[in-house]
Chain A
Amino acid sequence: MTKSNFQLELRTSPHVKRGVSVERIMLHVVLALLPVAAFSVFQYGLSALALLLTTTATCLLAERGINRMAGRESTLGDWSAAITGLLLGLTLPPSFPLWMAAVAGLAAIGLGKALFGGIGFNVFNPALVGRAFVQAAFPVAITTWVPAFSAERFMGFIPTTFTAPLMTPPDITAWAKQAVDGFTGATPLARWKFETYFTPAQDFISGAATASAGESTAVLILLGGLYLAARRFLDWRIPVAVLGSAALVAWAFQLYDPARYPEPLFVILSGGLMLGAVFMATDMATSPVTPKGVWIYGALIGVVTVMIRYFGGLTEGVMYAILIGNACVPLIDQYTQPRVFGAQRGKA
C-alpha cells in the first residue's frame, strides 16, 4: 500500500492536505472484500455464512476483550479486526467446524496481533497466523473439502459445521458425494499433484473448483484489488510481483516438462494465491515500505509459493510463503533503503 499518508509539497497555501485515515482505508478494504464474501456464501450456502460470521465475531470479541484486559481504548472502530476475521473465514474450508473457526479467530488476534502490540505492530498477517495455528492443530479438518453449488446449500448446513466444541467433526465423504455427483474431495492443486489432472481455468472463474470459502472467485478478488489499487489503498506492485513471479517460475517449469507441470494460468488461479496476493501480502503493517523492497518481497512470496506447491509435502503453499515473506520484511527494508539525494555511497 502507499508508503505515507502525507506528501510533502512545496507550493503556496493551503499546505495541509486531508490525510487518508487508517479507518477509511480499512473500511474500503472491507467493502472490497464483501463481494468475495457474498459470492462465497452463494457458492457454499448457509455454512459459509455461519463460518464468516463466526470468524469475524470472534476476532472482534477477541480484540475488544484484549483491549479491555490491557486497559486500552477500544480499537474496533478501525475495522482492522473485522478484516482479519473476514479474511480468515475466506481462507478456511467451508465445512470447517465453527468451534475450530473460533479458535482460529482467537489465535489470529491474540497470537498474531495483540501479542505484538496491536494494529501496525504485528510482524505477521494476523489472519494467516490464525490459519497457521489451526492448520497445525487440526490438520484433517482444514483439508476436508466440500463441493460448491450443492442443491440444498440454502436449506441446511454442512454436517460438520455444528460439531460440538472440542469434538471431532463427522466424516462427510458420503454426504459430499450425495450433494454433488462426481465430487472427488480434492482441490485442483491436490489433483494436479497426485493425479496430474489439470483443472480447466473456467472452473476457477465460475467458482466450481474445490477450494477454501473465498479462494475460487478470481474475478471478484481481482475487481476488489483493482478498486483498492485505483483508490491508492493498496500497493499494486505487490500483487503484480507475487503473481508475476509465480507465473514466470511456472512458465519455466512448464517449458521444461509440459506433461508434468501446469501452465502459469493454473498456478495463478488455483488455491489461495489470488486472495493472498491481493488481500494478504498487501497488508500495510507486514509489507516493505521501500519501492525496491516491495518488488523483492512480492517476488519472494510468488517463488516460495510455487516451490512449496511443486516440491513440498503440502499441496498449497501461499500461507507459509506470505508468512515467510512477512518475516523477511525488516531485512528487505534495511537493505533496500533508497539513497538520500546528495549522500555519497558508503557513507552514512
Chain B
Amino acid sequence: MAIPGQKELTALENFMEGVWKQNPIFVMVLGMCPTLAVTVSAVNALAMGVATTFVLVCSALLVSLMRRIVPKEVRIATYIVIIATFVTIVDYLIAAISLALYEALGAFIQLIVVNCIILGRAEAHASKHPPAWAASNALGMGIGFAVALFALGAVREILGAGKLFGIALFGPDFQPWVVMVLPPGGFFVLGMWLLLFNWLRTRSPAAGAMKPVEGHGHG
C-alpha cells in the first residue's frame, strides 16, 4: 500500500530502510537512552538490540493487523498497550534465560516501552502498511538498531576492558581506558560513529539518495 506523495519501495528497500538509509541510531539518532546506557559491553548491547527487535517486529505486526479497527483518537494509547505487552514478555524472557544479563540491563528492558523508535515505527509505518510489509520494515529497523548498538558496545568493551564478548584480546597487560565504560565514553564513541557515518554518506556518489525522507519525522 503506497502512501500518497511517497515513492513506492520494493520489498528489499522496505526491509533495508532501517538497516542503512534510515538507520535509527546513525541516521535518525533515535533511542539515545538505551544506546548510551547499555553499550558498555558487546553482550549487553546485542541483548538490548535483540530484545528491542523482538518488540519492534511483534508490535508492528499487531499494530498493522489492527490498523483498520483502532479509532484514530486512541491510537497512541493502543500502541503503547501493545508495545508494553511485548516488553513484559521480553522482560520475563530475559530474566528466565540469564539473570546476570537481566541485572546488567536493569531498568532499560522495561524502558523499551518508551523507546521512540518503536512508537515511531508503529505510528509512521505499521499503521499504514499491510502486516508483511510492516513486519519486514520493523525487522530491518531492529537489525539496524542492534548492529549500531553492537558497534558501540564492541568499541567500548574493547577499549574499556580489552575484551570482546568477555574474551580477553590483548593479554593480561592490557591497559583499560577507564573513560570508555563511563558515560562520557558512550558519547565519545557515538560521536565517532556518527562522524564516520556522515563522512561515508557525504562521500558516496549516491549522496543525493541519502537525504532524510519526508514524512518520517518522529522523535
Residues of A within 8 A of B (CB): 69, 100, 111, 115, 133, 136-139, 141, 163-164, 166-169
Contact = CB atoms under 8 A, between A and B. Distances in A.
B175 A139 contact: no
Contact of B188 (A100, A111, A139): A111
A301 B108 CA distance: 39
A139 B178 contact: yes
Interface string B165-176: 000001001110
A288 B54 CA distance: 52
Contacts of A133: 179
Contacts of B184: 136
Given A136-B182, A136-B184, A166 B175 contact: yes
B174 A167 contact: yes
Contacts of B193: none
Contacts of A167: 170, 173-175
B177 A137 contact: yes
A169 B199 contact: no
Contacts of A137: 177-180
Given A111-B188, A166-B170, A138 B199 contact: no
Interface string B80-120: 00000000000000000000000000000000000000000
B175 A136 contact: no
Contact of A168 (B175, B178, B188): B175
A115 B191 CA distance: 10
A69 B199 contact: yes
A100 B178 CA distance: 13
B162 interface: yes
B179 A141 contact: no
Contacts of B170: 166-167
A133 B173 CA distance: 21
A112 B187 CA distance: 14
Nearest to A114: B195
B167 to A, nearest CB: 16
Contact of B173 (A69, A115, A138, A168): A168
Contact of A169 (B162, B175, B188): B175
Contacts of A139: 178
Given A138-B175, A166-B174, 16 more contacts: A69-B199, A100-B175, A111-B188, A133-B179, A136-B179, A136-B182, A137-B180, A139-B178, A163-B175, A166-B162, A166-B170, A166-B175, A167-B170, A167-B175, A168-B173, A168-B174
Nearest to A167: B173
Nearest to B192: A110
19 contacts: A69-B199, A100-B175, A133-B179, A136-B178, A136-B182, A137-B177, A137-B180, A138-B177, A138-B178, A139-B178, A141-B175, A166-B170, A166-B174, A166-B175, A167-B170, A167-B173, A168-B173, A168-B174, A169-B175
Interface of B: 162, 170, 173-175, 177-180, 182, 184, 188, 191, 199
B154 to A, nearest CB: 15
Contacts of B178: 136-139
Interface hub of B170, B174, B175, B179 (most chain A Cβ within 10 A) = B175
Q: Which of A139, A164, A166, A168 has the most CB of B within 10 A?
A: A166
A169 B176 CA distance: 11
Contacts of A141: 175
A133 B189 CA distance: 13
A100 B159 CA distance: 13
A164 B182 CA distance: 24
A133 B162 CA distance: 18
Nearest to B173: A167
Contacts of A169: 175
B20 to A, nearest CB: 22
B132 to A, nearest CB: 42
> Would you list the 8 A-B pairs with minimal beta carbon distance, nearest first?
A136-B179, A137-B179, A137-B177, A168-B175, A167-B173, A168-B173, A166-B170, A137-B178
Most buried by A among B174, B179, B180, B188: B179
Of the candidates A133, A141, A167, A169, the one having the most CB atoms from chain B within 10 angstroms of its own CB is: A167
A133 B184 CA distance: 10
Nearest to A169: B175
Contacts of B199: 69
A168 B161 CA distance: 12
Nearest to B160: A137
B82 to A, nearest CB: 41
Contacts of B180: 137
Nearest to B191: A115
Contacts of A69: 199
Nearest to A136: B179
Contacts of B162: 166
B204 to A, nearest CB: 15
A141 B173 CA distance: 14
Nearest to A135: B179
A164 B178 CA distance: 18
